[in-house]
Amino acid sequence: MPYKTPQEVLNAFHKIHETMRPNLEKMFIHVPKAKFEIRQTEAFRAASASAEYLQGTPDGSRPGVFYVPILDASKFNTTSGMESLFLHEAIPGHHYQISLQQEDTTLPKFRRFGGQNAYVEGWALYCESLGKELGLFTDPYQYMGALGDAGGRCGHAYRQNDKRRSNQIHDG
């Protein structure tokens, strides 16, 4: 359904999180301590931004943030796979993996704070595939969007400029 305000778009992502929460708690015993937030991308950079995840600090002083650019809420593309986007960029995708890695003090620093891109993105892709098990993809449009995301990747997986996030994947 089309949205009227940016807050409605953000609420829709919160709802995705709420919907999966019971199954998430069953599937993931080991979860990050880091807090998580969903924010609208700041206006000054929204026009050129893709949805993205920005990791928090390991001491928890800054939360991990899932940023969503919303230029015009009424034109927000609801059928491009909001659920698969959230699974990939946010939970259990980049937020879980990157936060757990940062919080694991048994790892050497280069492993806590460095990123192996194939691993980071591989995990996020795997998370997209968990949609049904997590209680999502009940709306055929969301499932179609997820399949579209997956299909698009066959052509151009892992572009070289992936800044530990697959921005380009979510562009169109």
C-beta closer to Zn ion: residue 3 or 85: 85
Quote the least distance from Cβ 92 to Zn ion, whole Å.
Answer: 12
DSSP classification of residue 160: T
C-beta closer to Zn ion: residue 3 or 16: 16
CA 116 to the chain's CA centroid:
17
Nearest to 83 by CA among 137, 38, 144: 137
Quote the least distance from Cβ 136 to Zn ion, whole Å.
Answer: 17
- Chain position whose Cβ is nearest to Zn ion: 166
> Which residues touch 167 (CB under 8 Å, ≥6 apart)?
50, 51, 52
C-beta closer to Zn ion: residue 121 or 149: 121
- Which structure tokens are listed for 99? 């936060």
Q: Is 15 helix (H, G, I), strand (E, B) or coil?
A: helix
C-beta closer to Zn ion: residue 19 or 117: 117
Quote the least distance from Cβ 121 to Zn ion, whole Å.
Answer: 5
Quote the least distance from Cβ 94 to Zn ion, whole Å.
Answer: 6
Q: Which residues are near Zn ion by CB under 5 A?
A: 121, 124, 165-166
Task: Give the burial class of 99: count Cβ atoms within 10 A of its Cβ; 0-12 exposed, 13-18 middle, 19 or more buried.
Answer: buried
